[in-house]
Amino acid sequence: MDFRPIFLIIGLLLTTLAAGMCVPAAADAFAGNPDWQVFLVAAGVTLFVGVAMALTSYAGGTRLNVRQAFIMTTLAWLFLTLFAALPFMFSELEMSFTDAIFEAMSGITTTGSTVITGLDEAPPGILLWRAFLQWMGGIGIIVMAIAVLPMLRVGGMQLFRMESSEPGSEKALPRAAQIAGAIAAIYAGLTAIWAAAYWMAGMTGFEAIAHSMTTIATGGFSTSDGSIGHFDSALIDVIATLGMIVGGLPFLLYLKTVQGHWRALFDDSQVQWFLSIVAIAVILTAAFLWLDTGFDPFQSMRYAAFNVVSIITGTGYATADYGLWGGFAPPIFFYIMFIGGCAGSTTCGIKIFRFQVLYAAARTQIYHLLHPHGVFIPYYGRRPIPDEVIVSVLSFFFVFGMCFGLLAIGLGMLGLDYLTAVSSAATAISNVGPALGPVVGPSGTFQPLPDAAKWLLSAGMLLGRLELFTVLILFSPAFWRG
């Protein structure tokens, strides 16, 4: 196999990461924090490795076949995580290698789980670096969902191959690179809008920029241990809720909207399903809070809307410890962890379109049972669903459940209690952030867990972010023989 195209792309990504390190370096230098030197040295090392990889691999070009794309996708996330961990290790925080990798993996996969305490007193460079990692991971996963995953046919993503290259839908932007560039511009524009909104709602400029990056990326890293709850502002809660919903919708549809297809977003069945599920979960949770916990209707709706949207989109912000809301809330939050947002968004989890495919297939099966000689075809978006897609989606559900179960069992074997083990496995493989319980819930961190558990969870975050099969296929001997 020719690894030159793989290392060329990874080299370019590392060069971008090195450039990104200069931003927190400038923030620390402006604040008089000595960590600016750490960021500059880390940037120099990352830049050297990235440029060396790119120059030595340049002759191989950038065209990838399917097998090379699988390897590139996984290696890119691993290399970026490794170099992104450098500032965490050598900054004032002096994090261990395990903790630094965990924090970097959580950032680059937009999970939002953290091992850092005392964020309110943390240096500005580290806070900005955490936000930047999630912001870069968010745009990375959008581009991957548009350009790479449909080609790899991972978990039914081939459904969107025609959508991203459909004649007439992107006439002005026929190439994948141009589409990715246009979506990156929209992504940056939305980030700027939300930064301005946060600032006008009462955040400082620094807090507004950091939170806008992690909101649109549905990442969830905050500048305070109290997350968004630190600001105790209903207006900020509303802005964050809307931002998380925006991050959970398909960015390709934003591009179509900008190009003049004004109804593209709301005519999409995936968007309709997503907003319907969010509305139902919010109403049920708000009703429970109002009737069972004594919150008034406004408070119930405020807390329910924010925290439900935060969990279902995998953002992981919190305004309250929902583990203390009684017996109804934890099961709701546990199950919506797995759902995720729409394909082509910054969210992770199982994703709405797979539930749609599964529903269409199950409905067709019921019709076949009722009318054995009838011909019934499952549809998605007014198009017949190929059998290959249904098999891919069913396989994804099976592998997702198996990986979740093995991860939870592994954490249990390391001594974690049942609730911590199961909810930590769920939040890692769904890239949500906080889990359930007093240890890793919204009011806790993952710092108390043993190092082995942190490595397991880091692996779970990578698996979940890269749609499972992209990583698991590399462990197949047949892949390397082919």
Task: Give the pLDDT mean for 45-53.
Answer: 96
Rounded to whole angstroms, how far apart are CA atoms 459 and 465?
Answer: 10
Max CA separation in the chain (angstroms) = 77
Question: Which residue bears the tokens 């590139």?
Answer: 72
- pTM recorded for the entire structure: 0.93
Q: What pLDDT does residue 61 have?
A: 67
- pLDDT of 406 > 50? The answer is yes
Q: What pLDDT does residue 355 have?
A: 95
Tens-digit pLDDT profile for residues 160-176: 764 444 433 334 344 66
Task: Give the pLDDT mean for 48-62.
Answer: 85
Task: Give the pLDDT mean for 412-422.
Answer: 95
Number of other residues whose CB lies within 10 A of the CB of residue 297: 11
> Percent of the chain, pLDDT > 70?
96
Q: At what angle do helices 387-413 and 418-429 cross, to 10 degrees?
A: 140
Q: What pLDDT does residue 144 have?
A: 84
Instruction: Give residue 62's pLDDT band: very low, low, confident or very high (50, 70, 90).
Output: low
Tens-digit pLDDT profile for residues 423-474: 999 999 999 989 998 899 888 899 999 999 999 999 999 999 999 999 999 9
Task: Give the pLDDT mean for 314-324.
Answer: 88
Instruction: Give residue 60's pLDDT band: very low, low, confident or very high (50, 70, 90).
Output: low
Q: What pLDDT does residue 327 have?
A: 81
Instruction: Give residue 259's pLDDT band: very low, low, confident or very high (50, 70, 90).
Output: confident
Instruction: Give residue 399's pLDDT band: very low, low, confident or very high (50, 70, 90).
Output: very high
Task: Give the pLDDT mean for 153-159.
Answer: 81
Q: What pLDDT does residue 145 have?
A: 83
- pLDDT of 479 > 90? The answer is no
Q: What is the CA radius of gyration of the chain?
A: 22
- 85 and 104 in contact (C-beta within 8 Å)? yes
Task: Give the pLDDT mean for 282-300.
Answer: 90
Q: Which amino acid is at 321?
A: D
- pLDDT of 189 > 80? The answer is yes
| Short-list 453, 456, 444, 473, CA closest to 113 | 444
Task: Give the pLDDT mean for 250-254.
Answer: 92
Mean pLDDT for the chain overall: 91
Task: Give the pLDDT mean for 182-205.
Answer: 95
